[in-house]
Amino acid sequence: MNTKAVNIEQLGIINCSKIHRNLSVPALVQKAILRGEGKLTDTGALSVTTGKYTGRSPEDRFIVDVPLVHNDINWGKSNKPIKPEVFDKLYNKLAAYLQNREIFIFDGFAGADKKYRMPVRVINEYASQNLFIHQLLRRPTAKELEDFTPGFTVICAPGFKAIPEIDGTHSEAFIILNFEKKIIIIGGSQYAGEIKKSIFTVMNYLLPKKNVFPMHCSANIGDNGDVALFFGLSGTGKTTLSADPNRKLIGDDEHGWSDNGVFNFEGGCYAKCINLSKENEPQIWNAIKFGTLVENVIYNENGEPDYSDGSLTENTRAGYPVEYIPNAELSGLGGQPKVVIFLTADAFGVMPPISKLTKEQAMYHFMAGYTSKLAGTERGITEPQATFSTCFGAPFMLYHPAVYAKLLGEKISKYNSSVYLINTGWSGGSYGVGERIKLRYTRAMVTAALEGKFDDIKFTPDPIFNVLVPESCPGVPKEVLNPKNTWKSPEEYDKAAVSLAKRFADNFKRFQNVPDDIVKAGPKSEK
């Protein structure tokens, strides 16, 4: 047990029965099993269920409203304020709850670039959650551990439940960020993703003050050192397309873009497992082994998984270190991005499969963060619905979206990065009528963008979506590149395209004080 340099009494957490600091993976797995938190699977992974909370609980997240951050935060549905005195009372109750308990501490870093990384201390009630964050954050060397001083502390106790009418929370669960005290408290939820995303949210607040652009994206790097970024909401193909056997994975979810280049915030991956197959996603499949934490996957009595079973949740997950990916860039570092790719899955079947964006168009589509939900994916959805998630990660962005868009525009200009919008959705009609664009075509488009094969190809402006569409692409039939050509009725295409363009325009009205050149860079809702 290594408890050197650990002083949690100053946090009000006293008289703990045992304190474990930075236990090894085997020790954490053993502790979790002995404590009844989970079971080993046939591959040696640790399987747990998380109870009623099987995903993030955005209604239960709050930011402590103090003068230090009050004028910075874009207050609203995603960023709800809570008073300091409410935080203090709940914090004291949480600290009292942890007395006489065995607790697990992980000290590590968020950020591979030493200039911008944040030391994070995570204090867990559960050994399984400590295993998770051990695998997800950047792990320290023995020397770094000796001199470790946390920049932020996360205290997570799923067994402690709030009483809303007394504690001022929304429910029994809570996730509260206090920037003045540099503390995050999490209670009532055993979903490990709350820890990961709370730390990400803190980075999204701190880094822009250092002129670093924080991003909810994946990143990979080619043999020549060329870096590519992939932004996209769930279901757009971000994980599939960034996992390229010919390129090294820098990271799958959270990155910063500084004047030094791109750096991964994390030291691991948190992959979705629903309908996972060895054929389609071999890297994830093979990463689910000893040291991996698996959440809410159904296993039989022999410890064999049924990845198609979403009876607990569709949001089944596996958390594992990036070392489990064969072609990972373990340093977590890359140079300046050559190519930036925005991914959308347009179920209306009207957006071009690939288009090139100007800086202003890139800022517009980054702020829009468009994709579409499909019929049947959520209760009550009977036809495709447009979904807009600002900055491709609205729940984790504390500033006004324009702050992040401005950083994107500055980086694109400074480093001459090419930006492409790729539609991995439907063609020839909307969902139910048309067909999803073939994956081999999408891969060919990504490859062409990464290898600079569009440099000598002519682009034509799309009259509705106001983007530049290439006249050809190696490996892709020419007629596929113009979505109107794939519809039986050009008139029906125009009607559907204008309808989606109007949705873009209506969505963008919620952004105040955005420069005209960015507003005008969006789709045209009138032909």
Q: Which residues are catalytic?
A: 56, 197, 216, 234, 238-239, 253, 317
How far apart are alpha carbons 155 and 7 in whole angstroms? 14
Q: List all residues 6 or more positions away from 488 whose beta carbon is below 8 Å from its beta carbon.
A: 428, 429
Rg (CA), the chain: 23
Closest by Cα among 167, 159, 170 to 124: 159
How far apart are alpha carbons 527 and 524 in whole angstroms? 7
Angle at 184 between CA 181 and CA 188, to 5 degrees: 140
How far apart are alpha carbons 396 and 196 in whole angstroms? 11
Residue with tokens 């005290």: 181
* SS3 category, 94: helix
CB 156 within 8 A of CB 186: yes
Report the interhelical angle of 490-508 vs 359-368 (nearest 10°): 80
Maximum distance among all Cα pairs of the chain, rounded to whole angstroms: 73
* SS3 category, 414: helix
CA 250, chain centre distance (Å): 14
DSSP for residue 160:
-
DSSP assignment of 309-368: --SS-S--EEEEEGGGSTTB-TT-EE-SEEEEEEEE--TTS-S-SEEEE-HHHHHHHHHH
CB 107 within 8 A of CB 140: yes
Q: Which parts of 71-218 fold into alpha helices (H)?
A: 84-98, 127-136, 142-146, 164-167, 193-206
CB 358 within 8 A of CB 409: no
CB 135 within 8 A of CB 293: yes
